[in-house]
Chain A
């Protein structure tokens, strides 16, 4: 390690592939998108070109993102992501806690089961979920069997709960894993001390366990919330045409709508939102009264 600092050549030899990768496949495309977001389609002979651009023509695309429809989709995306993130926390915390208090030999298996979905492609999992929730699926079908005698029918697919459920389903492991690693490191004698001092189980959880596991909670919230913001596959498959998230809008700009400059502008607005979220997290963690500072 020491040598790397002194020996510049070794440093550059080892560092250049990663640097090359980042510059060519991340920074350069990002810079291109940034330029594109300030550009517009070229007009050639009075005709709007399909894939030629007039570069750096102004902030028109950003003005377009202030369109009420777009803003409402942004707000919906934030709202749904928040709901899904909270749901992940509520579901994930007890699971992470249970794994930590399992006999030690069962823990690797439990963790494997949590991570197992990652071994299957997201698209396939989403289609599977669609089948399960569908009118003839395990959940949707059973629900309909119950509702049928009352002359009612449930159509889960295409509803907001279906999208939120899908988001929770996909991102739950991102919540459980950081929670698990924080709770696992938590010295159990803090909990014992709290009980010994006369606190109830609930008080112990609220006043000791929760504040001491706050770093894991914050990490989990971030790890779920941010990818939720950019998600389009779930809302596409499980939601209806009226339940687009901002990811769907962006995707369509680069796809069917073929409006890359506007898509780029939307992407940068989304990135800005993400940065704001991360900033809030940083601010809270550094200015809260030491809670979570470990």
Chain B
């Protein structure tokens, strides 16, 4: 395996007044990765990003970029560049001047600046707006300027702080594809900070989910979604139904639990589970049927339809179990037969395969 491009070793950031924004975080980010720091606001993800850029300083620990300790390297000497959440496109300069800024201040020859600015603007499709002022541009365009301005510096690592949060939905989808394309085109490491799980899942090769200053799980998007290791991650990434359950017995991997509202069930777990577990299952793994399914080994329960949200290609159906717990079920609207859909108050059976459920211990 290649050496990591960014290596964060036991980094903490404490603020005066006792707030710990980042708490003993270690993470290795590989060359050419599209790496996402994902978490709710205040989880320390932006602070971590700013410490990598040098705009913030760790209270403890070390950050290595390309194998070099960055402890004494100020932001203007680091091989990283940042796309700010507010874009921070200089309002007193034209687009071309903005993009040229980082090259000019480091003494790149004028003809090379001209060439690289041209290429940079080409890359983000802004060549036709080179002489515009930022205040005559849309948010999306300004973001492209910020991107080009950072990319022409040819950093080893591009840092993006909530790059899509200020864009409207349509533009966000375009920009998401654009960022993935750019990353493959320029072949440098992207580290993106986001609170939006869809953004992280759709763009990143690996995601670090953060909570309260620590990384809760670091994995690929698929692994995070299908194999979350904690309730927090299961709940934060996508929708999930959680059931509290008592452990009846565990022999090796074979686990027998008694879940509230569902009864006894046979599951499997790699870990020692203790007395209490949480059983998690994604809404799209569940099936609804008008009669009790006759297949053996399914986990099933009688329920009543409480709410139906129709989205065209699919519907989210919320059903209520006998004990009052609500369960979300995603139903694909595969047939045009309107009568086949469920209606509010209707009696129904919810079922799923034990292999689709996940046993969480924390």
A286 on the B face (CB < 8 A): no
B2 on the A face (CB < 8 A): no
- Is there contact, CB below 8 Å, between B76 and A193? no
Q: Mark B67-97, 1 if CB is under 8 A from A, else 0.
A: 0000000111100111011101011100000
- Highest count of chain A CB atoms <10 Å: which of B75, B91, B105, B149: B105
- Is there contact, CB below 8 Å, between A194 and B92? no
Contacts of A199 in B (CB 8 A): 76, 101-102, 105-106
With the chains together, A294 CA to B134 CA distance in Å?
12
With the chains together, A258 CA to B55 CA distance in Å?
66
A207 on the B face (CB < 8 A): yes
Q: Kindly identify which residue among A190, A192, A198, A294 contacts B105, using a CB–CB cutoff of 8 Å.
A: A198
Q: Mark A181-221, 1 if CB is under 8 A from B, else 0.
A: 00000010110111111111001000110011000000000
- Is there contact, CB below 8 Å, between A207 and B84? no
With the chains together, A200 CA to B101 CA distance in Å?
12
- Is there contact, CB below 8 Å, between B82 and A196? yes
How many Cβ-Cβ contacts under 8 Å join chain A to chain B?
Answer: 67
- Is there contact, CB below 8 Å, between B86 and A196? no
- Is there contact, CB below 8 Å, between A187 and B88? yes
Q: Kindly identify which residue among A194, A195, A207, A208 contacts B74, using a CB–CB cutoff of 8 Å.
A: A195
- Is there contact, CB below 8 Å, between B84 and A193? yes
B153 on the A face (CB < 8 A): yes
- Is there contact, CB below 8 Å, between A197 and B86? no
Q: Mark A8-49, 1 if CB is under 8 A from B, else 0.
A: 000000000000000000000000000000000000000000
- Is there contact, CB below 8 Å, between A192 and B91? no
Which B residues contact A (CB, under 8 angstroms)? 53-55, 74-77, 80-82, 84-86, 88, 90-92, 101-102, 105-106, 133, 146, 149-150, 153
Which A residues contact B (CB, under 8 angstroms)? 187, 189-190, 192-200, 203, 207-208, 211-212, 290-291, 294
Told that A192-B88, A193-B90, A195-B55 touch, could you supply 19 new A-B pairs with CB distance under 8 A? A187-B88, A192-B55, A193-B82, A193-B84, A196-B53, A196-B54, A196-B75, A197-B76, A197-B81, A197-B150, A198-B76, A199-B76, A199-B101, A207-B101, A208-B90, A211-B92, A212-B92, A290-B92, A294-B91
